[in-house]
Amino acid sequence: MDPVTHLLGGTLCGHLAGPRDRRGHRAALLTGAVAGLFPDIDYLGHLFQDPLTVLNNHRGVTHSFLLVPLWAGLLGWVAGKWPGGIAWRRGFLVACAAVSLHILLDLITPYGTRILAPLDRHAFTLGTTFVIDPVLTLILGAGLAVSLQRGSRAPGALALLLLAALITFQGHNRQEAEALARSHARMQRLPAEVLALPQPFSAWNWKLVLQLPGEYRIAHVNLGREPLLQRLYPRNWPLGRTLHSYVPAERASWQRIPRYGPDAGAARVRAAWESPAMAPFRSFARLPSWYGNDRRDGCIWFTDQRYTLPWLPPPFLFAACPEGPGRWRLQAPPDGRWPLLPSAG
């Protein structure tokens, strides 16, 4: 989830679990806000690690339920040392709630969270919610604002119940989206593994993925009968083409995406993908696919279909560049800029 959502969630935990006196309450709000952001401290790896190492280590030990007491104890101790701080036990309770909520909010996204680290490196995901969800953020923000304005904990507690209801609804939609994908695979007699990924703008927007040997079949659907946002939001506005790409299931267009590009060059692309240089990106990408060839330097670029959105550049893009016969090196876009690929598909 985005930092704003985590900040609001942690602050709400501070409000609900903190003391009622004014001084203690302010300290609890600050403790909750810091604890709500704390698990993402692993992003500081960008200061001394390469981007792929950071991506592979993100949502590790700082996002582990097993280590919540450790992080909460540390944050509670620090909170008790602040001027005007709160008692360690109260700080521990606030931090424990805020860190746990952070982990839960990350767990519902498709990225994957290692909630059992360091004992188990498996990245778990419920896959119900897109990484930025304005409705979810609004629920947390409104619950916190109304609670603070009224000096009551009831609106904040209600916000958490609404949050649970929203995630449950999104989980139901995921099951419906997966059923659509399985139905299409049966109709086409495709021995495919199916996956449904939440998409932005609406809880009804989903990406359906059929995983086949050597390729994916992907469709973008809207589960609602009348996509209200599409009727209100013109196609030529910013992000309009992306929003209008999600259509009712009966009008879905299934796109074939080869994992290794066109057949003529697939052998070379596969050799690049399987080279030792691409091992870090292979560890990260769950739905890897060819993105394009750069004819200028011979680099072959790859992305992860988990994160691609219609009409938008992919957020994760890395290349294998030739260094000699059978030898490749890993290449990231310079300065974070995506290359213009003449042969990109």
Cβ(272)–Cβ(328) below 8 Å: yes
Distance, first Cα to last Cα, the chain = 30
Determine the Cα–Cα distance for residues 196 and 216; give it in Å rounded to an integer: 13
pLDDT given at position 294: 87
Phi, psi for residue 195 in degrees, rounded to 5: -150, 140
Nearest one of 224, 225, 247, 223 to 235, comparing CA atoms: 247
Phi, psi for residue 292 in degrees, rounded to 5: 170, 165
Within its chain, how far is the Cα of 82 from the centroid? 33
Write down the pTM of the prediction. 0.91
**Domain parsing of the chain, residue ranges:** 3-126, 178-258, 263-336
Indicate the burial class of 170 (C-beta count within 10 angstroms; 0-12, 13-18, 19 or more): buried
Indicate the burial class of 93 (C-beta count within 10 angstroms; 0-12, 13-18, 19 or more): buried
Instruction: Note the pLDDT tens digit of each residue in 47-95.
Output: 778 888 888 889 999 999 999 999 999 999 998 887 777 888 999 999 9
Q: How confident is the model at residue 172 (pLDDT cuts 50, 70, 90)?
A: very high
pLDDT given at position 226: 62
pLDDT given at position 238: 83
Cβ(196)–Cβ(208) below 8 Å: yes
Instruction: Note the pLDDT tens digit of each residue in 204-260.
Output: 999 999 999 999 999 999 998 666 777 788 888 888 899 999 999 889 999 999 999
